[in-house]
Amino acid sequence: MYYDSQARLQGGGEGGLPWNPFKALVAPRPIGWVTTLMADGRVNLAPYSYFQAVADMPDIVMFSASPSPDGGDLRKDTESNVVECGEFVCNIVPNALADAMNNTSASLPRNVSEPEVAGIDMTASTRVAPPRVAAAPAALECVLVETRRVRHRGGEHRYTMVFGEVVGIYIDDRYINEGRVDTAAMNILTRMGYDEYAVLERSFRMSRPDLDPMKSGFLKG
């Protein structure tokens, strides 16, 4: 079949399927469980599946946020908090915290702390003010670099990209083996389409035919 994305966007029908298949195909996607601080010091915690690493040396991550469900162009608390305090933490979500993560995706009133409502233990970060999820197997401590509105052919999209430079990384020692992070052992939760998730449980090694990054030392930077 052929799915007509343009027809659906212009209100001309379902495009050939009752639901847009886009996010089911660009999958699995990592989940950035983002911690920020509100102006009064309370903690905000929310998951973003439009999240990705975009560069290294220095390491840069990005998450993309839509406007608040409260209406208009009011931005979500996470984005507003990052712009105000300049720092955030991206917590890695293991399968064991799936329900906790999902609970923090609920639309709560502004200035309500998701960790308090969901009963999630937080602990201090090392280089930034926002704390990390205590039970997360890893967390990226980030400083804001810039925000940029996503564009499409017709102009500005409703989504805004938030870029952060990683200034420190917490990793649970249980997942470090001979100097390497055992990612699969973390059972990381990933986002699929619709209401579907997947768990990373297996990995394998395969070097590029023209470059072995381990032997070259590129991965040590």
Confidence at residue 96, expressed as pLDDT on a 0 to 100 scale: 98
Tens of pLDDT, residue by residue over 118-129, are 999 999 999 999
Q: Which two tokens stand for residue 39?
A: 């102006």
Percent of the chain residues topping a pLDDT of 70: 91
Residue 209's pLDDT is 78
- Say if CB 19 and CB 13 are below 8 A apart: no
Higher pLDDT, 7 or 101: 101
- Which residue has better confidence, 216 or 27? 27
Q: What does the pLDDT read at residue 124?
A: 98
Residue 169 CB partners (closer than 8 Å, separation 6+): 138, 139, 140, 141
Query: Where along the chain do its domains lie?
Result: 26-220
- The mean per-residue pLDDT over the stretch 4-19 comes to 81
What is the fold of 26-220? Answer: Pnp Oxidase; Chain A (2.30.110)
214: left (phi over 0), alpha (psi -120 to 50) or beta: alpha
pLDDT at 211 over 90: no
Kindly tell me if the per-residue pLDDT of 69 is higher than 70: no
Does the pTM surpass 0.85? The reply is yes
DSSP-derived letter for residue 67 is B
What is the pLDDT of the chain when averaged over all its residues?
A: 91
Is the pLDDT score of 162 beyond 90? yes
**Would the pLDDT of 221 be above 60?**
no
Instruction: Check pLDDT > 70 for residue 20.
Output: yes
Task: State mean pLDDT over 36-63.
Answer: 96
Instruction: Quote the pLDDT of residue 216.
Output: 62
